[in-house]
Amino acid sequence: MSVGVRRSKSLLCAKGTTKSGNTGRKSTKERCRSLKRNIPSKLTPHQQQALFTSWKSLRPIIHMLMRKILNNLEEEMPKVKQIFCKTAVLDAFNRESTTSEKQGTLDEHVKLMIEFFDDLINNLQDEESVSNKIKNIGQCHAVISNSSFSSNIWEKLGEITMECFSKQDVVQKTREAGKAWRILIAWVTDELRCGFDDQTRFKNR
């Protein structure tokens, strides 16, 4: 799967095309409606099992993997590094900072991403609840849209996450595992972006 794809939906399709072969950009609402084909309920029982098994096997290295994902995101999106650095500086000067204030640092994001995927893999059957949680994460990030945080960051995060997971031996071990992670990460990326875009539009009214 090539890196540099501009839309998370194209993590599953060729760049600039949809499964029907049409080209051109879609609005956020159209993109959100089109997610029905990518939702976890479309995963086969074998793919769901492959997700669970491969995630369990990744646990010993998951902290390192998540940090690599965020470090790569910082390298490709300098504004992300600026946001993390700004948050880390504020946290350093506020030793009595609350947990919610610390959640903006890179280290906290590593922990949060691990917790996020843990919850996601263990609750795939409760799709509606998981979808709402993912969109809520996207919505929460709309408050920093004035700090150069844009929806393109979600797209890049999805691409990097896809690339890093796909390179792992436990994911490459079976064809179903690779398919399952592509479907899941593409869906998560789109849900994050939809939540972010919806809240950003609401905030800017």
CA distance 54 to 52: 6
CA distance 3 to 11: 9
CATH number at residue 158: 1.10.490.10
Residue 175 in domain: yes
Residue 31 in domain: no
Residue 84 in domain: yes
Which residue range forms the structural domain that includes residue 192?
Answer: 45-93+102-204
Alpha helix segments (H runs only) across 94-174: 99-102, 106-122, 127-140, 151-166, 169-172
Is pLDDT larger for residue 29 or for residue 169?
A: 169
Task: For residue 23, report the phi and psi dihedrals to the nearest 5 degrees.
Answer: -115, 170
Q: How many domains does the chain have?
A: 1
User: For the whole model, what pTM was predicted?
Assistant: 0.76
Residue 15 in domain: no
Tens-place pLDDT, residues 144-186: 766 678 889 999 999 999 999 999 999 999 999 999 999 999 9
For residues 90-112, give the mean pLDDT: 64
Q: How confident is the model at residue 74 (pLDDT cuts 50, 70, 90)?
A: very high
Residue 36 in domain: no
In this prediction, residue 167 carries a pLDDT of 96
